[in-house]
């Protein structure tokens, strides 16, 4: 028999309003005191009443939300799972959202999550959460996704989401196949969150063939908005530290290559595919799980896009450069960029020291810094002999095609530009000077040393730090070299040592105070 709502609503509404608006967090004691005055069944009955009371639902829902956030409130709710089940099926989105949040509160407040999950399964809570995920409004869907993530944090929950047998269970692949485009994107969002929980969860997603749902959604050509949403979710998914371990076993790399190569596909989609590729191949472990020919094909697809500089969308070009930089952060990736059949890195040089626009040049300079090892440990900056020879040759051949003639001339030209470009140049030089040929180029160009030792040239903290790091890198490389015996470099070495001693922020040398003598004022 369902409880009847109180005949006088005023006291409970006033108390609920006070409880929900109380500043700060509510305690277990305050929640217990409130529920002693107004038991949960009576409060739930208010949500089922047809009484036309303005703000009743919002007041009660707001109050219950704060009650269930307490450990005491969550433990009491566990005794009323039929009400929770009814809340997940309510017509009101506000009530359904509260019920989804309540599942999370229960799981977050208990230590024995396995027992709680088994109780929830008995009331079909998981399938109702899936329904809220797909059919709820934005807030309800988000609360449902969070609740399912909490269920998945224990082995018992994982066995509910990824059952050993399909009989009588909910299969996310089947769910996605029978819902709207919005519902499919929400299922992909859930898969992305589950994949990111742990390596074991990612393995379960892979074993269930759920990663194929991304492939299927991305390459549907009839709905660009849905395709873009799927790409964004995939872009977030590849941030996971174990993404390459599983994603590179699928056909995704080939699909990305096909997308980048397809000139008929919108440039926004190609740009995102390029960015995903960069993230996917930025891990050193990426190259152990995939054939090198597949990686090379992808690099060549990006390379062909960069060749079309005049017709290439600026965002797509910058995405391609950023992707190449990410790939170049790993030693293996940098070697591939420098030694592949078409030498993909050549286009990075052309843009970094060419006249292709500020945004493109900035992206290219940062990418070049990544390839040269600025983000790698100092003992991993240098590449194998073949790649190092290619890098040196690219610098000298690029310089020879310009009026600068030498690598030092190229570096000086970017150091003399606006602050953002100059910061990227500091970063690039910091990675280059571990190479003796480049260290000699830099130290022999007095104008370069003048800029990197000038504490007055930068006006922002980032600029000061980048300049000082560059100065320190040159000085350290110089001290470890035999160039200190070169008389022509002695002046540069002295300026570098003095600049390092003064630090990044001390623009002026110490000046002794001078006495000031003035005539006395007389009345």
309: helix, strand or coil: coil
Res 297 pLDDT > 80: yes
CA distance 269 to 136: 28
Alpha carbons 62 and 80: distance in angstroms, whole number: 19
C-alpha–C-alpha distance, residues 273 and 331, integer Å = 23
122 vs 82: CA distance, rounded Å? 10
Do 1-161 and 251-402 share a fold?
yes
Residue pLDDT, tens place only, 259-295: 888 888 888 888 888 888 888 888 766 666 666 778 8
- Top-tier CATH class for 1-161: mainly alpha
Distinct helix (H) and strand (E) counts, the chain:
31, 0
User: pLDDT class for 518, splitting at 50, 70, 90?
Assistant: low
Q: How far apart are CA 342 and CA 320, in angstroms?
A: 16
**Whole-angstrom Cα distance, residue 133 to residue 87?**
14
Nearby residues of 435 by Cβ (< 8 Å), 6 or more positions away: 382, 388, 391, 392
pLDDT for residue 1: 42
Q: What is the pTM assigned to this prediction?
A: 0.81
Query: How many angstroms separate the CA atoms of 386 and 366, rounded?
Result: 22
Q: In whole angstroms, what is the distance from residue 194 CA to residue 204 CA? A: 9
Q: Which CATH number fits domain 251-402: 1.10.287, 1.10.10, 1.25.10, 1.20.120?
A: 1.25.10
> What does the mean pLDDT of the chain come to?
85
Give which of 121, 112, 25 is closest to 73, Cα–Cα: 25
Pick from 121-125, 246-250, 308-312, 406-410: least confident: 308-312
Which residues, at least 6 apart from 429, have a Cβ–Cβ distance to it below 8 Å?
411, 415, 442, 448, 452, 470, 473, 474
Structure tokens at 356: 């292709």
Per residue in 461-496, pLDDT tens? 888 888 889 998 998 888 888 877 777 778 888 888
Q: What is the separation of C-alpha 73 from the centre of its chain, rounded to a whole number of angstroms?
A: 35
Q: Could you please report the per-residue DSSP string of 473-513? A: HHHHHHHTSSGGG-GGGHHHHHHHHHHHHH-SS--S-----
Rounded to whole angstroms, the Cα distance separating 418 from 464 reads 14
Domain-by-domain residue ranges, the chain? 1-161, 176-247, 251-402
């Amino acid at each position: 028999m369902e409880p009847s709502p109180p005949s006088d609503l005023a006291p409970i509404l006033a108390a609920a309003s006070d409880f929900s608006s109380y500043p700060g967090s509510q305690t277990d004691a305050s929640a217990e005191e409130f529920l002693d005055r107004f038991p949960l069944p009576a409060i739930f009955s208010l949500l089922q009443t047809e009484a036309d009371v303005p703000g009743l639902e919002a007041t009660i829902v707001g109050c219950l939300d704060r009650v269930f956030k307490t450990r005491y409130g969550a433990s009491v709710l566990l005794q009323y799972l039929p009400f929770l089940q009814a809340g997940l099926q309510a017509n009101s989105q506000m009530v359904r959202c509260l019920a989804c949040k309540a599942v999370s509160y229960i799981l977050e407040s208990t230590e024995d999550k396995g027992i709680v999950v088994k109780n929830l399964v008995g009331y079909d809570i998981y399938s109702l959460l899936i329904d809220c995920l797909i059919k709820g409004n934005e807030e309800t869907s988000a609360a449902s996704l969070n609740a399912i993530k909490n269920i998945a944090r224990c082995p018992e929950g994982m066995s509910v989401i990824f059952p050993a047998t399909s009989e009588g269970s909910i299969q996310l692949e089947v769910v996605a196949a029978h819902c709207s485009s919005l519902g499919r994107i929400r299922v992909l969002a859930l898969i992305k969150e589950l994949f990111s929980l742990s390596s074991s969860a990612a393995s379960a997603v892979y074993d269930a063939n759920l990663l194929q749902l991304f492939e299927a959604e991305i390459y549907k050509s009839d709905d660009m908005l849905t395709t873009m949403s799927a790409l964004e979710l995939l872009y977030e998914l590849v941030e996971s530290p174990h993404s390459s371990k599983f994603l590179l076993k699928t056909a995704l790399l080939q699909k990305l290559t096909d997308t980048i190569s397809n000139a008929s596909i919108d440039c926004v989609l190609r740009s995102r595919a390029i960015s995903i590729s960069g993230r996917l191949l930025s891990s050193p472990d990426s190259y152990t799980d995939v054939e090198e020919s597949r990686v090379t094909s992808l690099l060549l697809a990006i390379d062909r896009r960069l060749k079309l500089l005049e017709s290439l969308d600026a965002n797509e070009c910058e995405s391609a450069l950023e992707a190449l930089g990410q790939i170049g952060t790993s030693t293996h990736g940098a070697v591939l960029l420098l030694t592949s059949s078409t030498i993909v890195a050549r286009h990075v040089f052309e843009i970094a020291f060419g006249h292709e626009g500020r945004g493109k040049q900035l992206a290219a300079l940062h990418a070049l810094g990544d390839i040269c090892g600025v983000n790698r440990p100092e003992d991993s900056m240098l590449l194998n002999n073949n790649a190092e020879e290619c890098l040196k040759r690219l610098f000298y051949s690029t310089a020879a095609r310009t009026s600068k003639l030498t690598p030092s001339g190229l570096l000086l030209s970017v150091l003399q530009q606006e602050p953002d470009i100059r910061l990227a140049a500091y970063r690039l030089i910091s990675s280059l000077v571990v190479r003796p040929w480049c260290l000699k180029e830099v130290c022999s160009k007095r104008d370069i040393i003048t800029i990197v030792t000038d504490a007055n040239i930068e006006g922002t903290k980032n600029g000061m730090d980048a300049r000082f790091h560059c100065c320190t890198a040159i000085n350290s490389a110089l001290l470890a070299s035999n160039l200190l015996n070169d008389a022509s470099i002695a002046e540069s070495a002295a300026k570098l040592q003095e600049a390092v001693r003064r630090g990044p922020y001390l623009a002026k040398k110490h000046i002794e105070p001078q006495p000031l003598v003035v005539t006395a004022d007389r009345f």
